[in-house]
Structure 1
Amino acid sequence: MSTSAPKPSSSVTDREADAPLPEPIRFYGTRWVDRSRGYAPRRVLLTAAATLLTVAGALALWILYAGVAAGSPAWLSSLVLLALLLCTAIAFTRAWAGYTRPRRVDAVDESAFRSIMFVGFVGVLLAYALRSLVEAPGEGLLRADHEAALERHRRLTVKRSGNPARRGQGRRRR
């Protein structure tokens, strides 16, 4: 009696079974690969949700600013407004770059920007909403990585016939 793993179905070859799996994207899983099983409605809903959260966050920050500006000197309220705007702009740019460009190896540690991203959460939500209009955020980068991994896998698993060192010898004898 053998305790080996079950054989894959006849529709899946050994090469396909060993192929690299795609990385999941938050809220999308691996549906982004073939854009199936509710990918489009999910993208529409997540875009709408991110847009609503962006508007709600901007409203909350406006209420916060109005509360600070009401009982403080003009220079302090100006500094608070400047800090909120700068944090939002930095958070937007970093989030957008994370969705569109591959991360550099020497990139600055994300923990250094955690507080800026927290204060500028409206920028992060806005970047997510805008990127969701085009594709699932980060899908382009993961798709390029996955296709490159599949190509590497295909090149490594292509069957060779015979000994490559003996290929030329057979032709010369004839």
Structure 2
Amino acid sequence: MSAENGTPDTPAGSPDPTGPRPEPLRFFGTTWVDHGTGYTARRAAVSAGSLILAAASCLVLRIAYQGLQLAGVGGFVELLMVVMFAVCGALAFRHTWSGFTSRPDPERQASLRGLLAIGFIGSLLAYFCRSLTEAPGEKLHRAEYEQARARHVKRTARRSGDPTRKRRRS
């Protein structure tokens, strides 16, 4: 096991005789499987980190808003900026939150890239909220991993004996 992220040291393409391997999560590696190797500390760090980043980002946006006020661009532009960040933040929160329970469509993800970049504070807040209860994406990955393990057990349970010694029918 790698000490950095909890992932196995074997290469991803090598066959694993014990069955399917869990997919590592960002910041958690594969510690989400058995909640070991500092899982709780990582969750606390991710929660705190995402909340601190969201607060710092709000401070930067506040400074940008004050810059618009000093420039005297007018009330309409200031209102437009506030509404843009609020709407994009809400959409980014919803998109990120739904990404924890289902795999996002790659085409839709690519088309929303700009909107998600503008609403990054919403994504950070979604990450904070989810990491309070579990590793973000853990529920989805656990369900997929359990299904893969069940398929592996079902597939290997049907095998019996050595296939090379199988008798041929004439």
Give TM-score scaled by structure 2 length: 0.79
- Match of 2:66, as an amino acid? A
- Once the two structures are superposed, what CA deviation does each residue of 1:15-71 show, in whole Å capped at 9, x if it has no partner? x83400000001110110001011001110111011111111111112112211331
Task: Using the TM superposition, give the Cα deviation of residue 160 of structure 1 relative to its aligned residue in structure 2, in angstroms.
Answer: 6.0
CA distance in 1, matches of 2:138, 2:144: 10
Please list, as runs of the form range in 1=range in 2, the aligned pairs for 1:15-164 lying within 5 A after superposition. 17-70=17-70, 71-100=72-101, 102-103=102-103, 108-159=107-158
How many residues align structurally?
Answer: 145
CA distance in 2, matches of 1:36, 1:140: 16
Task: Report % sequence identity.
Answer: 41
Q: Secondary structure at the match of 2:87?
A: helix
Task: Using the TM superposition, give the Cα deviation of residue 104 of structure 1 relative to its aligned residue in structure 2, in angstroms.
Answer: 5.9
Aligned residue for 1:165? none
Unaligned runs of 5+ in 2: 1-15, 162-170
More helix by share: 1
Q: Max radius of gyration: which structure?
A: 1
- Runs of 4+ that moved beyond 6 A: none
Kindly report the root-mean-square deviation, in angstroms, between the aligned alpha carbons of the 2 structures.
Answer: 1.8
Change in Cα spacing, 1:67 to 1:134, as seen in structure 2 (3 Å) is same
